[in-house]
Chain A
Amino acid sequence: MDFRFSEEQTMTADVVRELLNDVCQPADLRRLMGDGAARDEERWAKIVEMGLAGALVAEGKGGLGLSAIDFVQIAEACGYAGLPEPLVENAGVALPLLAAFSENARVAALLERALAGEVTVTVAHPANPFVADGDTAEAVLVVRDGAMHLVETAKATLVAQASVDPFRRLFTVEFEPSDATLVAGADEAGVPLAAALDRGALFAAAQMQGIAQRCVDLGVAYAKERQQFGKPIGSYQAVKHHLATAQVKIEFARPVLHAAAAQLEQGDLYSRARISQAKLACTDAADVAARTSIQVHGAMGYSWEVDVHFFLKRGIALTNWWGGTAFHRERVAARVFARPLGPEHTFAREA
């Protein structure tokens, strides 16, 4: 029993954090928004160079063979930076799902290019009403009647659905299912799809954790600087307590998130409940932190000028992405009401 990250895990996350700190500041986001672009190609190229695309794909299939616990802090860093590019969705969810069907020749060919970072793939999962980043993805994995299809985005009808988050590119997808698009029948698709949902929810939670911390950090920086009544507002107790309350939420969401990542591979009722718990806890932390940060910023917080709104909006989006509150609470209930409870079952797995 050891709850610490390995040095390697921390180092990898640090490298990503540093890169994002260099190339993904709010000023960069604003520039991108001004251009109306979905991606900063230069930034994306740097991310791709790090070789992370295949992070979660098995080594035998050409990936790095990392596990969720190796990737979770990277996803946190993406949330913290408000990264617009689909590192989390592509490397964290889409490619492992794609790799599950790599016996198929079309899939294998696409996977190879995706692992090399030449193209991205996106997923239209039944858990989500839309597909993200459809315009920049080469292909989309879509489910029809439980079966898995792979469709080139050029051959599908994508209808843009504007999101409150300026960097989310959402679409509805229409396509003609055929033998040519079919990748796997419902029997084979079920398990990989469930795993994709778990990864999606886990890494959405991780991004929420990053978003929450970013909101508090923005609030703290402002509270140190902004003066009223001749003192920094951060010296007033009411302001301090707002921020401290948000930080407590963050502190107690983090170990749940990390435990969920460490247990994801179990793929059982216990690990699913833990992932759902992480999604709920991180979502709550992000919600409290974003609202707190806006409050601490005063009217500035309600303005376009202050950066908090980027994180608030990403938070609104991710709250229901890969399952909303009711969905995840029911998964927790399934564990709580059907399996033994108590301290000796904290790290339980299905026998």
Chain B
Amino acid sequence: MDLDYTDEQQAFRQEVRSWLEKHVPGKPLPSFDASREGFEAHRAWERVLAEGRWGMVTWPESYGGRGLDLIQWLIFEEEYYRAGAPLRVNQNGIFLLGPTLMEYGTDEQKARFLTSMASGDEIWAQAWSEPQAGSDLASVRATAVLEGDEYVLKGHKIWSSRAVFADWAFGLFRTDPASQRHKGLSLIFFPLNASGVRVQAIPQIDGETGFAEIFLDDVRVPAFNRLGGEGEGWNICMATAGFERGLMLRSPARFQVAARKLVELYKAHEAEVEPTVKAAVLQSWMDAEAYALSIYATASRLAAGGHIGAEASTNKIFWSEMDIAMHKAALSILGARAELLRSAPEAGDIGRWLDGYFFSLAGPIYAGSNEIQRNIIAERMLGLPRA
């Protein structure tokens, strides 16, 4: 065990830091969920990142990356959040689909999709959920039937984040219409502007758009767009989900920066807040640190050739519950000001905590609800019998 960064890692941190200092936009970008303008502003930022070859540092250089290891990726993320750089509009692509493509894609598929993903030219949405298939994802009904060398897609997807403005989606489809449950499913890519695709925005709890329904009516895509073998979609999706919950979706720096801001907020209002809040603030900092230490431990293991196991589920529960606790602590410090919207003249920076609180409430739901994660931990980690 050696918890010091190497000189090389330190130098890398400096390199990232100075690049970000020069390039991070001075003003926060408008939300990528609220408008096309915000979305495009974020896409432009993705392009700036890609030009510096910072799109996805762990990817091979041939796909626009730097071939770095997971520890370096964590360092990059730390500097990214430290610099207050914009949220990644193409996170579905680079963090979820990307690693999966790297593992299961053919060379042609990698060449076709990865570079444009890293550059922000193609921004991806995840189209897994359906109205009747949420937690029970294996019950998806949308079909993809092979006709010649094309799949014909039909069905109804829902809760697809960023699908309103995104370019592509990766969906879970039944390629064998007679199949049941986990069998006969395939992972297929489709352009969101293809004929037969209709995207319907769904307003979220905070009034912003965020996610969408996708209606697919005889949408034709080449068979080339299937990732992995026909009928292998479930296993591939689970690999993606493992990555999502386990590592990529929520790197620790996000929470560590939030904890730092929470401590600053506490210090500014210390005289007015009740003493129990101090314990909550300290706990938030400790949780963010614990999460970071845990991810470093996982990254060390993966870098040495290990695999993500059920800890993916423990991570998801931990960060989502921590996120809520942090925001609740912030709201209790703010007291009666907590309800102010960002637009209120007195709000200052307050509205961000309220927005963050709303979004934190989704944490235990998306990426596999925490109830489902607890089932996974109990059955696969602790070996308890299935119901």
Interface residues of A (CB under 8 A from B): 1-6, 9, 69, 216, 220, 223-224, 231-232, 234-237, 239-241, 243-245, 247-248, 251-256, 258-259, 261-263, 277, 280-281, 329, 332-333, 336-337, 341-344, 346-347
Contact = CB atoms under 8 A, between A and B. Distances in A.
B384 A224 contact: yes
A334 B79 CA distance: 25
Contacts of B385: 224, 231-232, 234-235
A340 B387 CA distance: 49
Given A2-B1, A3-B1, A280-B286, A235 B384 contact: yes
Nearest to A251: B314
Given A2-B1, A332-B282, 8 more contacts: A1-B4, A240-B384, A248-B317, A252-B290, A256-B290, A336-B281, A343-B257, A347-B4
B79 A220 contact: no
Contacts of B260: 341-342
Interface of B: 1-6, 9, 13, 71, 77-79, 81-82, 252-253, 256-257, 259-260, 263, 267, 278-279, 281-282, 285-287, 289-294, 296-297, 299-301, 304, 311, 314, 317-318, 371, 373-375, 377-379, 381-387
B290 A343 contact: no
Given A224-B383, A247-B382, A1 B282 contact: no
Contacts of A220: 382-384
A341 B382 contact: no
Nearest to B301: A4
23 contacts: A1-B71, A220-B382, A235-B384, A240-B379, A240-B382, A241-B378, A247-B381, A247-B382, A248-B314, A251-B311, A252-B318, A261-B1, A262-B2, A277-B286, A336-B285, A341-B260, A342-B78, A343-B77, A343-B78, A343-B292, A344-B78, A344-B82, A346-B293
A259 B293 contact: yes
A259 B300 CA distance: 13
Q: Which 6 A-B pairs have the closest CB atoms?
A: A240-B378, A343-B78, A3-B300, A255-B293, A234-B384, A244-B374
A6 B2 CA distance: 10
A236 B290 CA distance: 30
Contacts of B257: 342-343
Contacts of A347: 3-5
A160 to B, nearest CB: 35
Nearest to B322: A252
A259 B252 CA distance: 16
Contact of A255 (B13, B285, B297): B297
A181 B291 CA distance: 47
Nearest to A277: B286
Contacts of A346: 256, 289, 292-293, 296
A340 B385 CA distance: 47
A41 to B, nearest CB: 35
A262 B13 CA distance: 22
Given A244-B377, A244-B378, A248-B317, A3 B81 contact: no
Contact of B304 (A1, A4, A239): A4
A258 B296 CA distance: 12
Contacts of A332: 282, 285-286
A237 to B, nearest CB: 7
A342 B257 CA distance: 5
Given A2-B2, A343-B78, A347-B3, A258 B297 contact: yes
A263 B1 CA distance: 10
A240 B378 CA distance: 5
Nearest to B295: A255
A256 B79 contact: no
A235 B1 contact: no
Contacts of B1: 2-6, 9, 69, 258, 261-262
A343 B77 CA distance: 9
Which applies to chain B's interface (DSSP): helix, strand, loop or mixed?
Answer: helix
Nearest to B382: A220
Nearest to A72: B1
Contacts of A333: 278, 282
A11 to B, nearest CB: 15
Given A329-B282, A337-B263, A1 B5 contact: yes
Given A4-B304, A248-B377, A256-B293, A344 B382 contact: no
A281 B2 CA distance: 22
Contact of A243 (B79, B281, B292, B378): B378
Contacts of B5: 1, 347
Contact of A1 (B267, B296, B386): B296
A255 B290 contact: yes
A105 to B, nearest CB: 37
Contacts of B79: 344
Nearest to A216: B382
Contacts of A259: 3, 293
A343 B251 CA distance: 11
Contacts of B3: 1, 3, 259, 262-263, 347
Contacts of A224: 383-385
Nearest to B13: A344
Nearest to A347: B3
A244 B297 contact: no
A236 B387 contact: yes
B88 to A, nearest CB: 16
A337 B1 CA distance: 28
Nearest to A326: B279
A251 B299 CA distance: 15
B300 A4 contact: yes
A286 to B, nearest CB: 15
A251 B371 contact: no
A290 to B, nearest CB: 16
Given A248-B377, A277-B290, A332-B286, A243 B297 contact: no
B2 A1 contact: yes
Contacts of A341: 256, 259-260, 263, 285
B253 A343 contact: yes
Contacts of A236: 387
A115 to B, nearest CB: 26
Contacts of B81: 343
Contacts of A1: 2-6, 9, 71, 296, 300
B286 A247 contact: no
Nearest to B376: A244
Contacts of B77: 343
Contacts of A252: 287, 290-291, 294, 314, 318
B374 A241 contact: yes
Nearest to B294: A255
